[in-house]
Chain A
Amino acid sequence: MDAQAEAGGLCVGMALADARAMSPHAQMLEADEAADAALLDHIAAWCEQFSPCVVLDAPNGVFLDIAGCAHLFGGEAALLDAALQRLKAQGFCVRGAIAPNPGAAWALARFGQSPIVNREALSQALAGLPIAALRLTPESETLLKRLGLQRIGQVAEAPRAPFAARAGQHAMRRLDCVMGRAREALSPHRPPPPVFTLRRLLEPIVTLDAILTVVADLCGDLCARLDETGDGVRLLRLHLFGLDRKTRSVELGLSHPERAPATLLRLWRERLAMAAENFDADGGFEAIRLDAIEIEQIVLRHANLAPQASRDRQAEARLIDALSTRLGAQSVGCLMPYEVHAPERAAAWAPAFSVCVVPAAPPQDSVMRRPLTLFARAQPVEVLAETPDGPPLRFRWRRVLHDVARAEGPERIAPNWLRAPRARARDYYRVEDREGRRFWLYREGFYGEGEPPRWFVHGLFA
């Protein structure tokens, strides 16, 4: 419903037939609830520039928990004003209020006169509001109206037991919430970060250098906050609020808790330089927020006085962070062995420093039973064998013929009956050709089994 329709005397909740009768030229549109919900979601994301704790209140409201945020905007009134002005500028019809609890803010935003109410003035401000401001179920609301109770003031100090018995426990609870006698739980749009810092910018900024200047400030503030508790940050998220109402978020993970602004800034510079082309901010950014999402205690260790023999764990962690930031965390890892028979599953990729490998002693004779490298897909070879189920005599791999000088095997590895019930058993041979190159070959299946067996190179020995 737009302003013109309102001027024509139409109002929300009116029957369609009545509205048609009152203003025959009005254009009727079917409500698109999915689109409305998506738009509200979008608005909630946009509102995160005012506070990290944003709660959707379907179908048409958004709660912002502004505890600890107002000073960043120059007070509560300025914050509310900034938020409402910007939303109005985007063409929304919007009302807002600030109150000590969400219920009261809901009531005041929809029915109240004064937008900002503190704890002392709360009951007075609420007294004149209609019962509908309590967010009751329709049954309780009709009941109270039938009893002649029109205003919150009339029920606010009513005897609890009779009121609860008549209007229901839900109504009692709503009333307590509004009056600040009970706490209301809100489930935020996104879980709010434990620590965050935010900068609003007087002029929108576009360039990477300008963004980095602000990020440097934010890192400084964040580290100062973390310094108070002795914590470091493991995961950071930077939100860039664009003038085009879109929010860009960039994450930065670290391998160890960190609290040095210079280190964080160095990693952000690397990270943002890579992400810069994705920002695509036409109008620039009007606000930037830095969230510390994962926080960990920094455990200080004594310096080792014999540095020659030791490892510098901090320097190593910095290296891993620098590499992961530039190349992506999935590119940097370590190799993890598993005690599994299937060769493909006996090794896996794991994040760097995430595993504690028990070092297994190499065999005393230095002869390797497993290859140094393994092909992701075993490569088929043509093989000439002395006996059908014997070791190969000669094989052709990558168009080169190899004469086998030494061979050991077979080592039979049966397929896993649960994971691959149809796979055929493999006989592995360690093979060395006349030139000294060593291969890990296997024969899949047996002779006389129907389908003839096939040979593959699975890995290479040094």
Chain B
Amino acid sequence: MSPSTLYRAAPDGGSFAEFHAAAAHRSLTEIIPAAPADGAAAFGFALAWLKAGDAGGLVVISSPQVVAAELGAAYAPGLMQFGIDLGRLVWVRTRSQKDALWCTEQALRTPHATAFCVVTPTAKPLSLVATRRLLLAGETHATRCVLLRLDQAGASAAWTRLSVAAAPSQGAGRELGAPRFAVRLTRNRAGPTGQSWLLEWNAYALRIAERALDGAVAGATADRSADPRQRRAV
């Protein structure tokens, strides 16, 4: 794969808005960081994904405690600036991955709730059956689930899988701009895969906006294609 294909739209050129309209309400979505260092970006994009398709119910985030060492603990002032309503957020810190998945399944059985589970690398990888359980629970109760896969994401029953990398923001001068993400659709049970988008999170309007790709962006991030995870995902 040549570096420039990373951020080039797929031949059919599907826009993100169309994809999002179709995929936002599917019951199981997986977000994976494009590289290990993109964990925070993937976490942010997963929150944005949750928020953009939000129906107003409870949001249950379950994460094993080990995540805090890698990514840090979620920070309330930052979450608020990101557009997250803390009054509707329940955070569950679990000792094991098993407990986190159990919480997620319980949350999916609650009407109008949205579940978010962080999956960390464990000795026994997350099985296809485990993801299918979540999918079934979500589809039966018309609830949504987002999995943030920090492990080696293998076979999964998820509808869509998005690979997220951080992307340089656009601010005035040397200032930082709104959070931007380079997102690739690596799995789609309901359509074509392979599209890449440069997306910006508008926390004020609670909307994910697509930005035009330009050469500078692709050039700056080109070296990441050497990462084995990236090659596998493609």
Contact = CB atoms under 8 A, between A and B. Distances in A.
Nearest to A330: B93
A334 B83 CA distance: 16
A367 interface: yes
B43 A372 contact: yes
B151 interface: no
B131 to A, nearest CB: 21
Interface string B103-118: 1001101111100000
B204 A316 contact: no
Interface string B65-100: 000100111111111111101111111111100010
Contacts of A318: 110
Given A334-B86, A336-B86, A461-B44, A311 B112 contact: yes
B102 interface: yes
A194 interface: no
Interface string A304-331: 0001111110011011101100110001
Contacts of B174: 406-408
A376 B74 CA distance: 10
B6 to A, nearest CB: 12
Nearest to B217: A436
B47 A434 contact: no
Contact size range, B: 35 or more
Interface string A339-380: 000000011110010011101111111111111111110000
A434 B224 CA distance: 12
Contacts of B80: 337, 359-360, 362
A435 B110 contact: no
A311 B77 contact: no
A376 B58 contact: no
B168 A362 contact: no
Interface string A433-445: 0111110000000
A438 B169 contact: yes
A232 interface: no
A372 B74 contact: yes
Nearest to A335: B76
Contact size range, A: 35 or more
A292 B47 CA distance: 40
Nearest to B173: A406
B58 A347 contact: no
B87 A336 contact: no
A333 interface: yes
A199 to B, nearest CB: 31
A263 to B, nearest CB: 14
B179 A461 contact: yes
B169 A335 contact: no
Contacts of A311: 56-58, 88, 112
B176 A435 contact: no
A432 to B, nearest CB: 5
A406 B109 CA distance: 44
Nearest to B203: A362
Contacts of B50: none
Nearest to A402: B37
A357 B91 CA distance: 15
Given A372-B75, A430-B176, A436-B167, A366 B103 contact: no
A462 interface: yes
A139 B61 CA distance: 70
A406 B78 CA distance: 19
A357 B179 CA distance: 24
Contacts of A357: 85-87
Interface in A245-282: none
Q: Which 10 pairs, one residue from A and one from B, show the smallest C-beta to C-beta distance?
A: A462-B44, A373-B72, A347-B76, A366-B178, A460-B40, A362-B203, A436-B166, A337-B76, A374-B75, A335-B76
12 contacts: A312-B111, A331-B93, A334-B87, A357-B85, A359-B85, A362-B82, A367-B176, A370-B75, A372-B74, A436-B165, A436-B169, A461-B44
Given A373-B40, A408-B176, 13 more contacts: A319-B107, A322-B106, A334-B86, A335-B86, A346-B77, A372-B43, A374-B78, A375-B72, A436-B167, A436-B169, A436-B180, A459-B75, A462-B41
